[in-house]
Amino acid sequence: MDFELSQDHKVLRDSVREFVEKEIKPIAMQIDEEHMIPDSLVNKMAEMGFLGSYLPEEYDGAGLDMLSYAIVVEEVSKACGSSGVLISAHTSLACGPIYTFGTEAQKKKWLPALNTGKVIGCFLLTEPDAGSDAGAISTTYRREGDEFVINGSKIFITNGGYRGTGVLFATSDKSLKHRGVSAFIIDLNSPGVEILKNEKKLGIRGSYTTAFALDSVRIPAENLLGQEGQGFKIAMDTLNGGRIGIASQALGIAEGAFERALAYSKERKQFDHPICELQAVQFKLADMYTRIETSKLMTYKAACLKDAKKNYTAESAMCKMLASEAATYVTKEAIQIHGGYGFICDYEVERMFRDAKITEIYEGTNEVQRVVISKILLS
Amino acid sequence: MKILVCIKQVPDMESRFRPNGEKTWYDESDLAFRMNEYDEYAVEQAVQLKEQLGGEPEITVLSIGPERTVEAIKKALAMGGDRAVHIRDDRYYQKDPWQIASMIASYAKGEGFDLIFTGMQSQDRGSAQVGVIVAELLGVSCATTLVGFSYDGGTITVKRELEGGIKGVAKLKLPALVTCQLGLNTPRYPTLPNIMKAKKKEIASLTAAELTGEAELTATAAIYPPAKKGGGLVLEGEIGAQVDRLMGILKEKTAVLR
């Protein structure tokens, strides 16, 4: 067993880190305040290849592996959780399923623009009454000649505000439950697609979280992804991979907060000594670091298993659960170490605290992760 | 055109430095490593020249050091180098600038490079000698501390940073060697697609023993941290008297009030 990153992965990590330090860190606070990632940053990340990291070069991806992707999301999220989830949702939830389930024609048509960031991808599954119970969606589709006609609504769509390319789930008959669900590739500029709103949120404020109304939206029949009725399987498989992205995002947020807390504990003096000399603070740092390292091991393991084309369902659920809980714990303790200053926006750990919470919820709540893990144990 | 870029992998300057057991170098177990900053300007300038000439020049990247040096080489390849030569040497830190330069020159001699770029010095040893010695050994013209560079029809025009904020301009005919200073350019980030492409580029491997028979001219006797300074001088008492004392010290010990 070798727990060292390869030289190639180290080169990648250092390059991404350098980019993040210079291009993202200085504007992370602005992204949170303005509820928006500047287009200039999205373009720069696209030029860096962050939006198609593990997709093959023949579709204009960077051709790297899942571990590289995890490292990219982690490093970006150290500075900005909003930018991290933009990459994660785009890559795992839009590029990912089109690559895995798409026909050659679909891959050639849709992936190059996504992989190079010319359009931003999203995943339209969640509805007002279908969250964890994804088989219960009520957005419908029906065939009309060479087209599918879609009606319904979608909420909480990460990256939806970019109106790029979506992977959309709809049912032919709600009574069939998950067996009635099919997946489609949708251009979100199509007539009948209406953005109802971009949500205001506790954290990851720079990331769009969009509600859509879909009113008789016509999709060419060739945009069916996989077979009819295969949609639920596609959704579950996609989320399985997506969890590695969210774990990486959570891990990055935790590391970002930890770096600040560690540095602050050495600078801040009380009772004539740096507070890092107090055992109360030392124990916090030890607990925080241990949770980060544990999460990192599991996240990288899940990524490596996926790269090795082995089953990684349990590991992706465990890493998502571990890393998101590490993120909420570490960011909370980072504020505590900062004392009153931590509660103030300028010290940034309060933003990280707000950004962390969603990682316990999206791409499968941690309760759902526990269901996934225990099902595997008991199957 | 054949271009050579000589780079070094150095400790990240934010690492914690401690002398090693032999007390002749740093304990590397505590160190993180990166490409020498000045060498990044060298790589960038070479790649810009390649772009200017429509991709015609071939850029070879050379570095001397242990296995980990490949990380810096791969970064240079991801920035736009075409191929690389890694001279494997685990005891690189015991070699003086003469030996290092002799190794580079003995490799470069038969290769017919038109232009050699390197950093103006390394961030760790900081001798600023290797580049100029290589130029001397190869018998090519040389300009140091570049903050500006242009190429036109076999001649390069360089802006050099001199002492006291003065700049100098020099024209050199190829073949030539130049050393690069902060301010010359902004090194690009290696992009993910280019990191992928770099994986497929050739990294030839040589051993130090194949390239040098030169004995050292200077040897490191000892390396140690500077003695801890006292806590400085704290002026106390009435504010007017403090100002008078400060003025006296500044006049006596510095040039600021002259």
pLDDT tens figures, A24-35: 999 999 999 999
Q: What does the pLDDT read at residue B258?
A: 67
Q: What does the pLDDT read at residue B257?
A: 77
Predicted TM-score of the model (pTM): 0.92
User: Does residue A67 carry a pLDDT above 90?
Assistant: yes
Q: Residue A206 and residue A179: Cα distance in Å, rounded?
A: 36
User: Does residue A342 carry a pLDDT above 90?
Assistant: yes
Model-level ipTM above the cut of 0.85: yes
- Stretch (H or E) spanning A260: helix A231-267
A61 min Cα distance to partner chain B (Å): 7
User: Does residue B233 carry a pLDDT above 80?
Assistant: yes
- Stretch (H or E) spanning B140: none
Residue A75 is among the residues annotated as catalytic for this protein: no
Higher pLDDT, B251 or A97: A97
Question: Which pLDDT tens digit goes with each residue over A125-154?
Answer: 999 999 989 899 999 999 999 999 999 999
Chain A, nearest residue to B68 by Cα = A7
Active-site choice (A194, A325, A363, A367): A363
Chain B, nearest residue to A53 by Cα = B192
Q: What does the pLDDT read at residue B24?
A: 87
Domain boundaries, chain B: 2-210
Q: Does B199 touch chain A (CB under 8 A)?
A: yes
- Domain B2-210 architecture: 3-Layer(aba) Sandwich (3.40)
B190 min Cα distance to partner chain A (Å): 6
Q: Does B193 touch chain A (CB under 8 A)?
A: yes
- Residue B111 banded pLDDT, cuts 50, 70, 90: very high
Q: Residue A129 and residue B224: Cα distance in Å, rounded?
A: 68
| A156 touches A134 (CB < 8 A) | no
If we measure between CA atoms, which residue out of B125, B132, B139 comes closest to residue B101?
B132
User: Does residue B191 carry a pLDDT above 90?
Assistant: yes
- Residue B171 banded pLDDT, cuts 50, 70, 90: very high
User: Does residue B212 carry a pLDDT above 90?
Assistant: no
Please compute Rg for chain B using Cα positions. 22
Tokens of B136: 């001397």
> Angle, to 10 degrees, between the axis of helix B37-52 and the axis of helix B69-79?
30
Strand residue runs (E) in chain A: 121-124, 140-144, 147-158, 165-171, 181-187, 193-198, 209-220, 224-225, 269-270, 273-274
Higher pLDDT, B166 or A74: A74
